[in-house]
């Protein structure tokens, strides 16, 4: 079974530029998450999708971050404009729909995109 795919793996940009990250979840997983992991910290949830709808975006800095999952499969996360403090690894994860019971407990993580903002 293929895992969660993310691209690019690395990105270096200057502050005030824009950047976009792509995620392809595991086939059949209705729930998709984007996390931000700053160096030395644990991942912090940015946004959660159930199919193509947003379940929770309370931690997403909406003045500069946006995310979409138009067809309920792939997702993109965009930052516009980027700030120095956005330097982090952006992790995508997917899981079964929460109504699937114990099957929904495990989130499967992609390798992440490491963003450096200069």
Partner 1 sequence: GEDVEQSLFLSVREGDSSVINCTYTDSSSTYLYWYKQEPGAGLQLLTYIFSNMDMKQDQRLTVLLNKKDKHLSLRIADTQTGDSAIYFCAESGNDYKLSFGAGTTVTVRA
* Residues shown for the chain: 118
Instruction: Return the residue of 20, 68, 98, 116 that touches partner 1, per CB under 8 A.
Output: 98
Nearest to 95 by CA among 26, 37, 40, 47: 26
The three-class DSSP label of residue 60 is: coil
Which of the residues 12 through 51 are near partner 1 (CB under 8 A)? 31, 40-45, 48
Nearest residue (CB) to partner 1, 63 versus 101: 101
Find all residues with CB under 8 Å of 78, minimum gap 6, and list them: 18, 19, 20, 21, 65, 66, 67
Nearest residue (CB) to partner 1, 81 versus 104: 104
Instruction: Return the residue of 19, 46, 93, 117 that touches partner 1, per CB under 8 A.
Output: 93
> What is the nearest approach in angstroms of partner 1 to the Cβ of residue 65?
18
Does 5 bind partner 1 (CB under 8 A)? Our answer is no
Pairing of strands 113-117, 88-95: antiparallel
**Cα–Cα distance for residue pair 73/46, rounded to 1 Å:** 18
Stretch that binds partner 1, among 12-20, 22-30, 78-86, 108-116 (CB under 8 A): 108-116
* Site for partner 1, rule CB under 8 A: 4, 31, 40-45, 48, 56, 91, 93, 95, 98, 104-112
């Amino acid at each position: 079974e293929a895992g969660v795919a993310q691209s690019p793996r690395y990105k270096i940009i200057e502050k005030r530029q824009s950047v976009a990250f792509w995620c392809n979840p595991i086939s059949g997983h209705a729930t998709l998450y984007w996390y931000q992991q700053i160096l030395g910290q644990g991942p912090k949830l940015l946004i959660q999708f159930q199919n193509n709808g947003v379940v929770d975006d309370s931690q997403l800095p909406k003045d500069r971050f946006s995310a979409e999952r138009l067809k309920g499969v792939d997702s993109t996360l965009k930052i516009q404009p980027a700030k120095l403090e956005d330097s982090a690894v952006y992790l995508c994860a997917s899981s079964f729909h929460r109504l699937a019971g114990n099957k929904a407990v495990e989130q499967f993580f992609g390798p992440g995109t490491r963003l450096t903002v200069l």
